[in-house]
Every structure is written in structure tokens, then in C-alpha cells.
Structure 1
Amino acid sequence: MFEKILLATDGSETALKAARAAGELASKTNGSITLLFVMEPFNEMAYISLPGYELGIDPEKVARFQRESANAVLERTAEVLKPFGVPFVTRYEIGTPSATIVSVAENEGFEVIVVGSRGRGPIASFLLGSVCDRVMHRAHCPVLVIK
């Protein structure tokens, strides 16, 4: 049970707590972990130049920045997993975080998703929602939320 674990991370402190929980779970179940970081796609339309004003956004530089940011988050989280001695792989996707996490979990047969709670107040959570909330409501498998 819970041998195939999907750990979704954003690099936050609660995500690192979730990584420790996933490492502990994997060590007790002889499981393996896929460490997933999902970044929102770059929206060029948000940076349309106004007449007479050129923003000069280079899509290649944006893509490089996204890869470097993803690698930094994945490396930081991987450091938390290493002491547990469990097998893990890292993965970076571009997409809507909640939808991508649920899709990866379902399409690849993960048995549990481990994710950190964002820890927003009740009003902010109600108005904005959270990746964690959307994953919990859409996932086909159990979701372990770490606060």
C-alpha cells in the first residue's frame, strides 16, 4: 500500500514538511517517490507592449529562468528526501498546478499524492482557493495533506 508516491512541491516550508512525510511513508512501505514541480505557463499576453514602449521580453530567457527555478525547487526538496534512503526521481512540468498534479497521478497510477497545505487564513482560502484544495477534490487516489 502506498508504494508509488507522488510528492507535489512548490519549495515552500510546508512543501518541505510534506517531503519529510513522503520520505517517511516511502521508507515504511518500501515505496518510491516521484517529486513533481509544476510551474504555470508563461503568459505573453500579460506582457503586451504599449505603443512606444517595448518590454523586450525574450521567451528563451523566460524558459531558462523557469527551468532554473524548477531545478532549484527540486534540488532543495531532494535534499530533504536523501536521508530517508528511498528511491526517487524528479520531474518538472509546465501547466496549471492542480490539474497537472491530478493528471499525472491518475495517468501514471500513483497510489497517493503528498502535498503541503498552504496555510492561508479561511477568508483567503475561500476567495482564492488553493492547489491543495483542488487536488483533494479532484484526485482519484488518497491525498495526504501536511500542515
Structure 2
Amino acid sequence: MTFLLPVDGSESADHAVSYLIRLVKAFDAVTIHLLTVRDPVAVWEVRRFLTAEEITAIQRAEGEAELRSACALLEAAGLPYTAEVRFGAVAQTIADYAVEQGCEVIVMGSHGRGGLAKMLMGSVATKVLHLTHLPVTLVR
């Protein structure tokens, strides 16, 4: 069974990781893909102060930081995984990545970093539900 686990460093994402760790015990062979997606639009205001390469490096470092907690939980459980930082529209990138990697299920936190961005753009989880044909498990 191949799982996609999009994470954003939030408590909800950690709950999703813990849920997946319990879930995969029922399977003989699993593949877990950790993914965090950085939205380049979110930092448009800093483009006048930094080069595109500097912004990408900062966002990649932030993405890697978002993966750390999930990686630590999976390593502690002894589960193999891959981890990747991607750039783009978050929900669409998650849906596309799931297809690219042949994932059968997406497991994700129901509430991410949220705040004003969520209020303005809507829930990433809701958008993923609308963009994919795959089963999506939302974890509180």
C-alpha cells in the first residue's frame, strides 16, 4: 500500500503521522511519501529584497524544517519513507504528486497552519478532496 502524507509542521500534521503509523501496522508492505509544499506566491512581497535563488533556498530550508517532526516520528516507528519539498499551489501539487508516485491513499491533517491564509484561500484539505480521485483520510 502506498501512502502520501502531506505535512506542514503543524500539530495536526503530527497527528496525521501518528495515525498513519498505527494504520500501517495492518499492512505487510507499505511505501510512505512525505511531502511538504511551499507556495511561492506567499512570499511575493520579499522579491524586491531577495533574489529568486535566495527565496527558493529559504523556502527549501523552511520546508525541510516542516518535515523534521514527521521524519522523526516515522524513524522512531522504524518505518521507511521518502521526503520531498516541492514548490507550487499547495493542494494541486499534493494531488499531482500523489498521482506521480502511484499513491493509493492520502492521509493528512485536517487543519494546517491556517490563520488569515486559510480564511482567504480556503482549506488545503478541502481543495485536495476536490482535486483527487484517491481516498483522503483527514486526521484531527
Quick check: TM above 0.5? yes
Q: Secondary structure at the match of 1:118?
A: coil
Is 2:25 aligned against 1:27?
Answer: yes
1:7 aligned partner: 5
Equivalent pair of 2:109/2:139 in contact (CA under 8 Å): yes
Greater alpha carbon shift after TM alignment, 20-29 vs 129-138: 20-29
Partners in 2 of 1:138 and 1:69 — Cα distance? Answer: 25
Q: CA shift at 1:110, angstroms?
A: 0.6
For 2:33, give the aligned amino acid.
T
C-alpha displacement at 1:22, in angstroms? 1.6
Matched residue, 1:132: 125
Tell me, which stretches of 5 or more residues in structure 2 are unaligned? none
Matched ranges for 1:92-103 at <5 A: 92-103=85-96
Q: How many residues align?
A: 137
In structure 2, the residue matched to 1:40 is 39
Q: Is the 8 Å Cα contact of residues 129 and 136 (structure 2) preserved in structure 1? A: yes
Structure 1 length as normaliser, TM-score? 0.81
Q: Counterparts of 1:133 and 1:10 in 2: how far apart (Å)?
A: 15
1:89 paired residue among 82, 92, 116: 82
Cross-structure match for 2:16? 18
> How far 1:134 sits from its partner (Å)?
0.7
Code of the aligned partner of 1:56: F
- The residue aligned with 1:52 is none
SS in 2 for 1:92: strand
TM-score (norm 2): 0.85
Contact 2:13–2:112 at 8 Å: present in 1 too?
no
- Are the structure 2 counterparts of residues 119 and 65 from structure 1 closer, same or farther at C-alpha, using a change threshold of 3 Å? closer
The structure having more radius of gyration, on CA atoms, is 1
How far apart are 1:41 and its partner, in Å?
A: 1.5
Q: What are the residue-to-residue correspondences of 1:99-118 with 2, within 5 Å?
A: 99-118=92-111
Does the 8 Å CA contact 2:10/2:112 hold for their aligned counterparts? no
For the residue of structure 1 that corresponds to 2:103, the secondary structure is coil
